[in-house]
Amino acid sequence: MKKVIFIDCGDTLVDEATQVFDKNENVTDVKFYENSDKVLFKLKELGYIIILVADGKDESFRNIFKKINFLDKFDGFVVSENVGELKPHPAMFETAYNLIPDKYRNKDNIIMVGNNLRRDIKGANNFGITSVWMNWSPRYFHEFEEPDWKPDYEIKSPAELLELLKKL
């Protein structure tokens, strides 16, 4: 049974088309897609370990998750600005992996959920964890251009993640 969720933010939980930026190019506001905020809280309630694995600026993600009072609910907060690499670089996944409590730190326990085949799915596949493609956004890639871009699972909405997890 999967216990650990690595999750992307842009076009996975929030709609990038609705981002509002300040003069320093930090995101100050954005809309959560469908009921993705409720899904996050539900996953927490169900006991999943949830680690953000996202490319962008630390302050942007703090603003985004503060907005829904989820910032202190994450078990880990892995942001490319702090790591110094972007997904699919293994440093992003390795950093998240090291934040998992000892008891659950096993690649068989982990799924990565993200919208971007070239970053999220490729990175997860090469790191040896289960990849879940959140495919609702029209942005970025929709063809499996390389063999390692092919996700283990595909979902079309945040709510579908809850259903999928019951089967994993």
- The correct pick among 10, 88, 123, 158 for binding Mg ion (CB under 5 A) is 10
54: β partners: 79
- Residue 68 burial class via C-beta count within 10 angstroms: exposed 0-12, middle 13-18, buried 19 and up: middle
To Mg ion, the closest distance from the beta carbon of 47 in angstroms equals: 25
* Interaction pattern, residues 75-114, with Mg ion; x per rule: CB under 5 A: ----------------------------------------
- The correct pick among 7, 11, 76, 129 for binding Mg ion (CB under 5 A) is 11
86 versus 162: smaller Cβ distance to Mg ion: 86
Q: Interacting stretch for Mg ion, rule CB under 5 A, among 9-17, 57-65, 147-155, 159-167?
A: 9-17
Please check whether residue 33 is in contact with residue 15, taking contact to mean a CB–CB distance below 8 angstroms: yes
- The correct pick among 3, 8, 39, 155 for binding Mg ion (CB under 5 A) is 8
* Interaction pattern, residues 108-147, with Mg ion; x per rule: CB under 5 A: -------xx-------------------------------
